[in-house]
Amino acid sequence: MSIFDELSTHAIVPVIALDDAAAALPLADALIEGGLPVAEITFRTGAARATIEAIAKARPELLVGAGTVLDEAQVDAALDAGARFALSPGLDTAVLAHAAACGLPFAPGIMTPTDLQAALRAGCRMVKFFPAMPAGGPNMLKNIAAPYAHTGIRFNPTGGVTLDNLGDWLALKEVAAVGGTWIATRADIAAGNFAKIAANARAAVARVAELRAKP
């Protein structure tokens, strides 16, 4: 099973920004307790590399990846820290080539068919549709994806995805997994609300199970 296939089994990837790597293991434990052992740790803060490294070493059962990876140096940092996949809000062919050379599964951000064709030419198997709701929501992604269905490309919509609209996204067969910022917010992490994070993860897992049980 590829990394992106593994992400699709979870259907939701918590997108997380940590300001203090000391919260890494409590966060990981909350996600594991909630039944959602996966996380995209974004390089929006200086604590990203240390957070990924702490989780990769101490909680190997959690599938940890790097988000907001914008350049080759961050690809190297993510890989060295133990990230098993990486994503970006945009598409940079030089970064894609570097990630491919390093063997790091990478999903660039796309918003248009032109972006998508560039990602396909670079050999991508999954892309981040970002910002998902401002870009037109599930209907826009459905129409963008249609001409490329035969390629097998999968999508990770992120930006405005919520528990309430989760079903609309997962109804699209092209969607491998959504990016969820609501599960572990920066404010809840800073406040130490790990019980709430575990509950959010549990509710998300239950919603995915409910959606998948429908005929």
Indicate which residues carry an active-site annotation. 40, 128
Residues in contact with 113: Cβ distance below 8 Å, sequence separation at least 6, in sequence order: 144, 147, 148
Work out the end-to-end distance of the chain between its first and last CA atoms, rounded to an integer number of angstroms.
25
CB–CB of 66/40 below 8 Å? yes
CB–CB of 67/90 below 8 Å? no
Q: Which regions of 53-185 does DSSP assign to beta strands (E)?
A: 63-67, 86-87, 106-107, 109-110, 126-129, 154-157, 178-180
Q: Angle 194-213/24-33 helices, nearest 10 degrees? A: 40
Q: Is the peptide bond before 14 cis (omega within 30 degrees of 0)?
A: no
Rounded Cα distance, 215 and 30, in Å: 31
Rounded Cα distance, 51 and 55, in Å: 6
